[in-house]
Amino acid sequence: MGSNWTDRRVVITGAGVVSPLGQSLDELWNNLLAGQCGIDRITSFDASAYDCKIAAEVKNFDPVPAFPSPKEVRRTDRFTQFAVHAGWQALKDSGMDLDKLNRDEIGVFIGSGIGGLHTTAEQHTILLQKGPGRMSPFMIPMLILNMASGMFSMYHKLRGPNVATCSACATSTHAIGEAWRTIKMGDAAVMFAGGSEATVNDLGIGGFCAMRAMSTRNDEPKKSSRPFDAGRDGFVMGEGAGVLVLEELEHAKARGAKIYCELLGYGNTADANHMTAPAPGGEGAARCMKMALKNAQLNPTDISYINAHGTSTPQGDVCETQAIKTVFGEHAKKLAVSSTKGATGHMLGAAGAVEMAICVKALQTDIVPPTINLDNPDPECDLDYVPHTARELKVNAIVNNSFGFGGHNACTVARKFNG
C-alpha cells in the first residue's frame, strides 16, 4: 500500500444482492431494466387489519448454500441470513481465493437499521404465552444488529476491521463509505460492506403504519411506490441485503481481479433538525453531496447519473430535488436521476448498498434504470427522473444518495475505472 492515505485508491471488485426483484445482482438488474416491480400484497402474515397491506417481500429464499450448515441457519435471524447470502455472492463474484490472502487485512462492515425484528417479535410472543423459561438462549445473539457483520466474518475467518453501522435508511451507504475510508487509511486491503433488513412482519409493518409513513394504495400494489409523482402517498417496505467488495487498487491488481469501478468519494452529514422529516430545502443532503464530491475531487459537471434516495414520501422527494439543484446548479437539468424504490420498495438499512450495486451496473453497461410509476410528475420535482423506461447513457461518474430518520445523510461517488 502507498505511504500516504490520499494516494491509496479503492475499487469495487464484487457485489451480491438479495432483493424482492431478484436474488442476484444480474437478476435484479434485468428486472429493473424491464420495468418490473417487486411489490405485492403481503404474504408472510395476515395483514388484513393493517392500514398498509403491501410490501416488497423476498420470496422463496434459500439461505442454506451460503452457510456452513443448516443448523447455523436456524441460529440466525432472517436479516443475518440475507446478509450472509449477499456477502457470499459478493465473495464468489470477486473471484478471491481467501486461502491465498491475508485474512487479517480483510474486514466486514455490514449494518442494519433495525436488526432481528423477526426474532424480537417471536420471542416476545413466547414470553407472553409461555413465560421467560421458554425463551431461546439464542434470542439476544439472533436479534442484535451487529450479528450479520459478525457471523459473516466468522464463517469466512475475516479478522480485519469489523463494525456494524446503524443509521436507519443511510446505514449501508455509511458502511460503504466508512469501509472506503478504512482502506484509504491503510487499515485493511479488502472490505465487505453493505447492509441488510428484514422488517416485513406484524411488528415492523404495524410500527410504520402507526407513523403514517407508508403508502396505503393497497388495491394497486405495483403502482404504490411512485417516487417524484404527484400522487405519491408514502413509501412501501422492502427487505433484503446488498454487499459490495471494496479493495485497495494494488491489491486487486496483484490478484488479477476484475474491476467494476473506482469508489472516489464519501459524504456524511447530519440535518440536526427533526426525528423523521428532512431539513428544509434538503440542506443537510446538499452538504453531504458537496462533501462527497470534494473528497472525490470531482466537479458537479463530472456526474452523469444520481441514484436518488427517492422514497416516494411527500416531503422527502421534494427536499432531495431541492438539494440536487443546490449542489449541481444548471447541471442539475442535464443529470439523469432515478429512484429504483418504485421497483424494489424501500429496503431501509439495505437500500444504499443494493442501490450502489445498481450504480455499479450503470457504470459497467452505460444504461440507467428507470423511475417506474412516474405518471404525473410533482411540479416541485422537475428534474429528469428517467420515467418508465431504462435509458442508454454514457455513465462516467455516479452519485448514490441515502438519507435516514434521525437526520443521517450519506452519499458515495464512483466513476468508471480508468487505470
- Residues carrying an active site annotation: 169, 309, 346
The secondary structure element, H or E, covering residue 83 is helix 78-94
Find out whether 225 and 236 touch, Cβ atoms under 8 Å. yes
pLDDT tens per residue, the chain (419 residues)? 444 666 899 999 999 999 999 999 999 999 999 999 999 999 999 999 999 999 999 999 999 999 999 999 999 999 999 999 999 999 999 999 999 999 999 999 999 999 999 999 999 999 999 999 999 999 999 999 999 999 999 999 999 999 999 999 999 999 999 999 999 999 999 999 999 999 999 999 999 999 999 999 999 999 999 999 999 999 999 999 999 999 999 999 999 999 999 999 999 999 999 998 889 889 999 999 999 999 999 999 999 999 999 999 999 999 999 999 999 999 999 999 999 999 999 999 999 999 999 999 999 999 999 999 999 999 999 999 999 999 999 999 999 999 999 999 999 999 999 88
Compute the distance between CA of residue 232 and CA of residue 194 in angstroms, rounded to an integer. Answer: 28
The confidence score (pLDDT) of residue 87 equals 98
345 contacts: CB under 8 Å, gap ≥ 6: 20, 38, 39, 55, 56, 225, 235, 236, 237, 238, 239
Please state the pTM of the whole predicted model: 0.97
The whole-angstrom distance between residue 162's C-alpha and the CA centroid of its chain comes to: 18
When computed from its CA atoms, the radius of gyration of the chain, rounded to whole angstroms, is 20
The confidence score (pLDDT) of residue 14 equals 98
The confidence score (pLDDT) of residue 5 equals 67
Compute the distance between CA of residue 205 and CA of residue 417 in angstroms, rounded to an integer. Answer: 41
Compute the distance between CA of residue 410 and CA of residue 284 in angstroms, rounded to an integer. Answer: 10
The confidence score (pLDDT) of residue 2 equals 43
